[in-house]
Amino acid sequence: MPKVEVKKAGLYTTIQDLGRLNVAQYGVPQSGVMDSFSAKKANLLLNNEADAAVLELTMAGPILKFQSKTQIAVCGAIFDMYLDEKPITNAKAFQVNSGSVLRFGGLKKGFRSYLAVQGGFKTAVVLESRSHYPKITSASRLVNGDELEIDSLENTVIASARVNFEDQELFSNTIPVFKGPEFELLPQKLQQELFIENFTLTPAGNRMAILFKELLKNNIKGIITGPVIPGTVQLTPNGNLIALMRDCQVTGGYPRILQISEMGICKLAQKKPGEQVLFQLSEFY
Amino acid sequence: MQIKPSINRLGEKAILLQWDFNIAPENLNWLLSIKQILQKHVIESKVQIINTYNSLLITYNCSIENIYNDFNALKSYDFTGISYEDFKGKLYKLPVCYDVEFGLDLDELARRNSLTASEIIHLHTQPVYTLYFMGFLPGFLYLGGMKERLKISRKKEPRTSVLKGAVGIAENQTGIYPNSSPAGWQIIGNCPVELFNAHTENPCPFKAGDQIQFYSVSKQEYDKIKQQIKAGKYILKPESHA
> What does the pLDDT read at residue A70?
95
Q: Do B48 and A226 touch (CB under 8 A)?
A: no
> What does the pLDDT read at residue A229?
97
Q: Per-residue pLDDT for B167 more than 90?
A: yes
> Which among B53, B137, B208 has CB closest to A25?
B208
Domains of chain B, first to last:
6-86 (3.30.1360.40), 91-230 (2.40.100.10)
Residue of B nearest to A248 (CA): B136
> What does the pLDDT read at residue B46?
75
Q: What share of chain A has pLDDT > 70, as a percent?
A: 95
Residues from A in contact with B at Cβ < 8 Å: 21-29, 126-127, 135-137, 178, 180-181, 224-227, 229, 231-232, 249-251, 259-262, 284
> Residue ranges of the alpha helices (H) in A46-159?
none
> What does the pLDDT read at residue B242?
46
Task: Name the residue with higher pLDDT: B43 or B204.
Answer: B204
Number of neighbouring beta carbons within 10 Å of residue B242: 5
Mean pLDDT (chain B, rounded): 92
Output the 3-class SS for B16-33. EEECCCCCCHHHHHHHHH
Residue of A nearest to B68 (CA): A285
> Which among B52, B134, B179 has CB closest to A26?
B134
pLDDT tens figures, A86-108:
999 999 999 999 999 999 999 99
Residue of A nearest to B13 (CA): A262
Query: A172-281 in CATH: which number?
Result: 2.40.100.10
> Which among B8, B12, B23 has CB closest to A261?
B12
Average the pLDDT over A48-54 and give the result: 96
Average the pLDDT over B110-127 and give the result: 97
Instruction: State the smallest CA–CA distance between residue A31 and chain B in angstroms.
Output: 13
> What does the pLDDT read at residue B61?
80
Cα separations in angstroms, B210 against A166, A265, B31, B138, B139: 51, 35, 13, 17, 14
Q: Considering the entire predicted model, what is its pTM?
A: 0.93
Domain boundary assignment for chain A: 3-164, 172-281
Buried b (16+ CB within 10 A) or exposed e, A120-151: bbbbeebbebbbbbebbbeeebbeeebebebe
> What is the ipTM metric for this complex?
0.93
pLDDT tens figures, A139-175:
999 999 999 999 877 555 665 656 666 678 999 999 9
Q: Do A227 and B61 touch (CB under 8 A)?
A: no
Task: Name the residue with higher pLDDT: A284 or B101.
Answer: B101
> Residue ranges of the alpha helices (H) in chain A?
36-45, 168-171, 188-196, 262-269
Banded pLDDT at B222 (limits 50, 70, 90)? very high
CA neighbours closer than 13 Å in the CB half-sphere of residue A34: 32
List CB contacts of A53: < 8 A, sequence separation 6 or more: A15, A16, A17, A120, A121, A122, A123, A130, A131
Find out whether A132 and A141 touch, Cβ atoms under 8 Å: yes
